[in-house]
């Protein structure tokens, strides 16, 4: 199986572009201090499975299957947020997204906004894409999964927006890894709780996302949230580990720090739908998500998560 078939491979160049927008870390300085300029794509480092990591020698590694899982989760997130908000806009006009879709098809309109309505309507169901994300996250992907992903259109209007979320989400993950190197976290191992070093690296990456130009910040924040949501599907009991704070603590620390008014509604929609599905699937807990009251569902979800 050739990993190069995964669509995310085509996006690696753009991650470099994303890094050129980062202002709160001097990446050139880190490179002078020994950070390797190139990301090595690998599923294992020293015999251990990885998602993303940075060695004390300054080599950043990234698992292609993990990267594909993040892309798939961003796909789900965008479908959820844009579908729900577009449906709401339609309802205000006394119509539905389905009706709008039919009228766009009939008219043959090829304006970008018309094409986007068609692609949004046709985009795969968000729950199916989460299932696909889990496959890659857990590294079970088989030939059919690769074929399926190879067929995804990452260059249409919808795919391009997923790419924007993915690159920013991935940029945040790589910044986290880079921070371990930049701040020389290895030297301090044993003196400070490793969990606080992880939180420290998370915080540097959040600050970088907040400092992004406003035009890309919203998709960066949502992409980053999607990458943290993905982690829930690999730890269904939210078992604490010594080296990381629990997934819900990491997600909501980020949520409270970086979700601003520009993306609050979309962030609420994504978190409410994804985590209510997660609670139902793994803990049989029902949290109803009511249209226009997703914020309340998120509050309820946070309470339930604390009890796990
Ligand atoms: Zn880390």
* Burial of 13: CB neighbours in 10 Å, binned 0-12, 13-18, 19+: exposed
Structure confidence at residue 174 as a pLDDT band (50, 70, 90): confident
- If you average pLDDT over every residue of the chain, what do you get? 88
Give distance in angstroms: CA of 82 to centre of ligand 1.
Answer: 31
| Torsion 64-68-73-75 (CA) sign | positive
Cα(136)–Cα(114) distance, rounded to whole angstroms? 32
Q: So what's the pLDDT on residue 191? A: 56
Give distance in angstroms: CA of 30 to centre of ligand 1.
Answer: 17
Give distance in angstroms: CA of 219 to centre of ligand 1.
Answer: 23
Q: So what's the pLDDT on residue 38? A: 78
Give distance in angstroms: CA of 254 to centre of ligand 1.
Answer: 15
Phi, psi of 201 (to 5 degrees): -65, -40
Please, are residues 93 and 117 in contact by the beta-carbon 8 Å criterion? no
Give distance in angstroms: CA of 178 to centre of ligand 1.
Answer: 9
The whole-model pTM stands at 0.92
Beta carbons within 8 Å of 41's beta carbon, 6+ residues apart: 3, 61, 62, 63, 64
Weakest mean pLDDT among 137-141, 182-186, 210-214, 255-259: 182-186
**Each residue's pLDDT tens digit, 91-118:** 999 999 999 999 999 999 999 999 999 9
pLDDT average, residue stretch 184-198 = 69
**Each residue's pLDDT tens digit, 137-151:** 888 888 888 888 888
Cα(13)–Cα(28) distance, rounded to whole angstroms? 17
H-state helical runs in 233-263: 247-258
**Each residue's pLDDT tens digit, 194-229:** 788 888 888 888 888 888 888 788 989 999 999 999
Please, are residues 189 and 97 in contact by the beta-carbon 8 Å criterion? no
Element (H, E) at 45: strand 44-45
Structure confidence at residue 119 as a pLDDT band (50, 70, 90): very high
Weakest mean pLDDT among 8-12, 87-91, 171-175, 219-223: 8-12
Give distance in angstroms: CA of 185 to centre of ligand 1.
Answer: 9
Q: So what's the pLDDT on residue 259? A: 93
Give distance in angstroms: CA of 68 to centre of ligand 1.
Answer: 20
Q: What is the CA radius of gyration of the chain?
A: 20
Give distance in angstroms: CA of 224 to centre of ligand 1.
Answer: 15
């Amino acid at each position: 199986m050739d990993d190069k078939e995964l669509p995310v491979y085509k996006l690696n160049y753009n991650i470099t572009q994303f890094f050129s927008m980062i202002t709160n870390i001097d990446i050139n300085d880190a490179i002078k201090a020994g950070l390797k300029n190139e990301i090595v794509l690998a599923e294992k480092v020293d015999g251990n499975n990885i998602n993303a990591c940075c060695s004390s020698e300054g080599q950043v590694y990234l698992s292609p299957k993990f990267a594909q899982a993040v892309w798939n989760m961003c796909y789900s997130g965008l479908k959820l947020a844009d579908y729900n908000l577009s449906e709401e806009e339609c309802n205000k006009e006394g119509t539905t997204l389905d009706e709008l879709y039919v009228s766009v098809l009939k008219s043959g309109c090829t304006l970008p906004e018309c094409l986007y309505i068609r692609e949004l309507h046709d985009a795969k169901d968000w729950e199916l894409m989460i299932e696909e994300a889990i496959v890659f996250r857990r590294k079970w992907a088989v030939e059919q999964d690769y074929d399926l992903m190879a067929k995804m259109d990452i260059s249409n209007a919808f795919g391009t927006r997923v790419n924007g979320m993915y690159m920013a989400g991935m940029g945040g993950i790589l910044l986290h890894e880079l921070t371990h190197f930049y701040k020389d976290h290895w030297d301090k191992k044993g003196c400070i709780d490793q969990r606080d070093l992880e939180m420290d690296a998370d915080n540097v990456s959040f600050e970088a996302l907040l400092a992004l130009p406003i035009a890309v910040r919203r998709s960066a924040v949502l992409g980053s949230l999607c990458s943290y949501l993905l982690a829930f599907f690999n730890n269904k009991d939210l078992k604490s580990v010594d080296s990381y704070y629990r997934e819900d603590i990491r997600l909501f620390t980020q949520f409270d720090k970086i979700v601003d008014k520009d993306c609050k509604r979309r962030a609420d929609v994504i978190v409410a739908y994804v985590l209510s599905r997660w609670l139902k699937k793994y803990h049989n807990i029902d949290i109803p998500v009511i249209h226009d009251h997703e914020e309340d569902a998120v509050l309820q979800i946070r309470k339930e998560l604390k009890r796990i």
